[in-house]
Structure 1
Amino acid sequence: MNRRDLLAASLCLPIAALGGGGAWARALVEAAPATGGGFDEGTVPSIARGLAVRPWQAPAGSLPSWLEGMDYDAWRDIRFDPARALWNGQGRGFTAQFFHPGFLFRETVQVHEVADGHARRIDYAPGLFDFGANPVPRGAGGAPADGFAGFRLHAALNRPDYLDEVCAFLGGSYFRAVARGQLYGLSARGLALRTADPEGEEFPRFTSFWIERPAPGATQVVVHALLDSPSVAGAYRFAITPGAETVMDVRSRLYPRVRLDKAGIAPLTSMFQFDASDRGGFDDYRAAVHDSDGLALWTGAGEQLWRPLANPAVLQESTFADRDPRGFGLMQRKRRFTDFGDAEARYERRPSLWVEPGAGWGAGQVHLVEIPTADEYLDNIVAFWRPDAPLEPGREHLFEYRLHWCDAHDWNPGLARVTATATGALPEGGRRFVVDLAATDGDAEPVPEVLADRGRVDNPSLQRLPHGGWRLAFELHPGGEPVVELRARLLGASLDPLSETWLYRWT
């Protein structure tokens, strides 16, 4: 975990600190058969249904003052003892370590191990941690916690003789993962509610986890999570398979307390500060700073879309209507060190995250929210699916999907993919756009198609690049319009698409 991870988590704390569970919800969980008793696939959904029919209650109690008053450096100095990791030395393919409460992470979660159809709670103990230079008070008021802030899973990701950190669940309903050779970047969440809404966002949180004990030499581990907030309770199941592409099969069962007409399914959260497509006046030695550079969509009708991200002057939201989408994701397409030039952050090693929906998602929209930021330590990009039909209380709403944490994800390899977008001012006014695309199949020269909903597009041209691929260039003259939506692609002689469709919002 790095400083940006922690500061990003602080965005949700004012509401997430209110956000569900607490002593009352924990008491309900403790009374369920899952704690010290039988456990099966229906246990967590049963608990969530029980929560949903009762009024939500804010958590009672707080951490000792010495933990709540910690700064980042003090909290980071508390380290879990790897020798005490769950399943350490058992050859099960995975181990689990736990995060200590404190600093921004004040709400504790309960963690259980599931084995042979039974669950046992993993109790907090100070001896699990090295507190570093932090003085630990003794006696009344000094008890550190009654649970953990979260946990992380380790597996033999990069070499067979060492267990690397693969994923972490920490803060609200946030979680993140890496594939082989990657570093942490963007995050996912269990659920988004009222994102970018004027009445304020609600942040559900995972209050309890159940981790199934993997078999010896296992390549997959299963995690169950209980979600709660004032508006909804939920049961989640994550089947996590690390590798060259780390895959999570997610089953989300939601039980609303109220009608949810602004729910975000499979939400992704990332950071975009600047790039050649939107430098925004940043005077920086680096060529680009971002965890993700574009939103990719594969529509239910089979169209492949690419929308470069922006760091706008004011918050903006874009929606892409669809039915039964085949996939969407926040992707990091730049993969060379020279694309960024940051020897510490190594943005070229940050994961892309592709969402592959299951059956029955129906009609809705992919939402993209872009928030202004001057700080690379704060996430400012959110993407999610919002169903057209509200999620009604009194029933279960099931969403299944697969998350691909990867370098890239091929969904239609026959189409040329956008590799770079750049823009600059014209001397006489207006903007020049340059879009580079990978090579297309065959030797015939494609036909460029460039459209704008306002203003005027001039001088479209197509050049073959020396290293292969194509460069599409054109001029935009907005004519006083404040916003112009652009759309471009390469077509074959019979006007069939040879490339994905490039989208851009000029403001």
Structure 2
Amino acid sequence: MFTRRDAVALLGAGAGSALVTTAAQAQGAPPPSDGPAKTVPSFDHGRVIERARQLAGSPFEPPRAELPKAFTEMSFDAFRDVRFKRDRAFFAKSPSGFAMELFHLGFLYKEPVVVNLVREGVPAPIPYDAGLFDFGQTKPPGRLPIDFGFAGIRLLYPLNKPTVRDELAVFLGASYFRFLGAGQHYGISARGLAVNSGEPEPEEFPTFREFWVEEPAGDAAEIVVHALLDGPSVAGAFRMVITPGEETTVDVGSTLFPRQPIKKLGVAPLTSMFYYGENDRRSYRGFRPEVHDSDGLLIEAPDDAWTWRPLRNPTQVEIARFPAPAVKGFGLLQRDRLFEHYQDLEVRYDLRPSYWIEPAGDWGPGRVELVEIPTDNETHDNIVAFWTPDRPVEPGGEPLRHSYRLSSRKLAENVTPKARALHTFVTEARASGDPQAGPDHVRRFIVDFAGGDLGYWLDDPKKVVTETSASSGKINAAFVVPNPEISGFRLFLDHEIEQPGGRAELRAVLRAGQKVLTETWAFPWERPAAPG
């Protein structure tokens, strides 16, 4: 996993054409005249696709840079102190409100990225200039070449106040990127692509090695970023249209060219962190009741069926698969928005965004997968969710194309119209009919459902029933009671696993007659294995 997750919150190379020689030219000034004017083909995304096709036809060569010692041995704090000079931001004087800054190479970010500015259809690589940065306590070395490169890009926009540009999006490290809506704090990350995530073999992290950022027009409500992705198994071209707002959206289109067979391709991957929460107290320490960027995976099927799977911090790598003929949407959500459930004034887990993905077009047969990885602290991303195709991914043939909308959501009710599983609590329960059964045989699951039409049924609660199932073991009890504190209902479910080391997948939904009132709650649990 890519572990330095906080580098983006607190704060990829190969040139596609000859580098310009001055910063003025990079920002759009015409080059010196050297004879008759030549017609320059207007930039379009097809050029990025062609670059990706050419890369895939050649052996993979990772981008390299000879970084001075001051950058290779840089600490996280030193890297954070290297800041782009705000008065040098690109297209900052445009009335659009957008601006762009660059990240310097150093710390974990040692692979150079080429950044091109596209003005009036003409792309120009931005040359390296140490004068763009304030290095803080780091003493920069002597003069560096103009093709030294950068680590990534930061996009700014006045999300919260008309006169203040806030961070809108950051592209930094491999193919990771983050973006925010109004009033949100960085947490979850998106990625261009995941390769073999959760598999026994090492995971591959393709890199955005070059960007083309279109300078927005004065009245633009969006900004367009093109990215060239490259890795040992695949090359690809991405076009991302970022529209800022209360809930910022990114419309993504990708074209992929496999270099070699890929065991598991993760499309539209999301990466997050779950350390502990109300359903998993094993790692609870200190004064904070919960520590997580996301608390569940939500999946929408075309038949209006919704599945909610609370996240966990497992003792070993766990993979949950959700096969379906098609997927209408999926995402990792931070559903719990109450500050008192986190009590963290610094990182504000209650303000972390939810990322929701809506596929466009037919992706073909496939499934959503959730990978949960053990972690012993909150600095590591240990949760990955993505869609993966059923068909094998092989080189040759037609490229793989996927389009989708990725949105940064605040509230769960903006995602699903059905009643939602707000809370999941897990405790011990008594085994039925077996006085010798120990407390690890049975678990009681307590699930609070709220929203949707549940408030209507509080006046006639006997009509609300639960439908439950278990992949193994036996359900000893399942019943529902009104929970007026949330204008909803509380489910109690007792489940028993008879064999040590046994595992069960539980599901529950609330109904009133034939009417489905809630999303389907899904949760696994495993009885501890016998000692020795």
TM-score, length-scaled by structure 2: 0.87
Contact 2:275 2:283 in 1 (8 A): no
Contact 1:416 1:437 in 2 (8 A): yes
- Counterparts of 1:275-314 in structure 2 under 5 Å? 275-314=277-316
Structure 1 residue corresponding to 2:429, chosen from 426, 429, 433: 426
- Counterparts of 1:262-411 in structure 2 under 5 Å? 262-394=264-396, 395-408=398-411, 410=413
Change (3 A) 1:66 1:149: same
Contact 2:19 2:126 in 1 (8 A): no
Structure 2 residue corresponding to 1:464, chosen from 482, 501, 508: 482
Q: Deviations over 1:164-183 (max 9, x none)?
A: 10110000000001111000
Instruction: Determine helix, strand or coil for the equivalent of 2:171.
Output: strand
Contact 1:365 1:386 in 2 (8 A): yes
Contact 1:304 1:412 in 2 (8 A): no
Are 1:30 and 2:17 counterparts?
yes
Equivalents in 1 of 2:8, 2:451: separation in Å? 40
Match of 2:110 in 1: 106
Contact 2:196 2:202 in 1 (8 A): yes
Equivalents in 1 of 2:8, 2:496: separation in Å? 40
Structure 2 residue corresponding to 1:122, chosen from 123, 126, 132: 126
Match of 2:420 in 1: 417
Structure 2 residue corresponding to 1:92, chosen from 93, 96, 100: 96
Shift of 1:143: 6.1
Shift of 1:197: 1.5
Q: Deviations over 1:86-142 (max 9, x none)?
A: 012222220001111001000110111112111111111000001111122236xx6
Equivalents in 2 of 1:363, 1:411: separation in Å? 27
- Counterparts of 1:102-181 in structure 2 under 5 Å? 102-138=106-142, 146-181=148-183
Q: 5+ residue gaps in structure 2? A: 21-25, 32-39, 432-438, 527-532
Shift of 1:280: 1.4
- The RMSD of aligned alpha carbons is 2.2
Are 1:477 and 2:476 counterparts?
no
Shift of 1:483: 1.0
Change (3 A) 1:60 1:374: closer
Are 1:66 and 2:70 counterparts?
yes
Equivalents in 1 of 2:126, 2:171: separation in Å? 16
Q: Deviations over 1:55-85 (max 9, x none)?
A: 2123344211221011111111211100000
Letter in 2 for 1:59: P
Contact 2:258 2:395 in 1 (8 A): yes
Structure 2 residue corresponding to 1:199, chosen from 194, 198, 201: 201
Shift of 1:373: 0.6
Are 1:215 and 2:217 counterparts?
yes
Change (3 A) 1:439 1:137: closer
Contact 1:7 1:378 in 2 (8 A): no
Change (3 A) 1:409 1:82: same
Contact 2:297 2:308 in 1 (8 A): yes
Equivalents in 1 of 2:498, 2:146: separation in Å? 63
Query: Number of aligned pairs?
Result: 487
Equivalents in 2 of 1:46, 1:269: separation in Å? 29
Equivalents in 2 of 1:136, 1:412: separation in Å? 47
Shift of 1:424: 1.0
Q: 5+ residue gaps in structure 1? A: 10-20
If you compute each CA radius of gyration, which structure gives the higher value, 1 or 2?
2
Equivalents in 1 of 2:187, 2:242: separation in Å? 18
Equivalents in 1 of 2:44, 2:281: separation in Å? 51
Instruction: Determine helix, strand or coil for the equivalent of 1:471.
Output: strand
Contact 1:8 1:377 in 2 (8 A): no
Q: Deviations over 1:29-49 (max 9, x none)?
A: 22699x994311211011111
Equivalents in 1 of 2:306, 2:18: separation in Å? 49
Shift of 1:440: 4.7
Shift of 1:273: 0.6
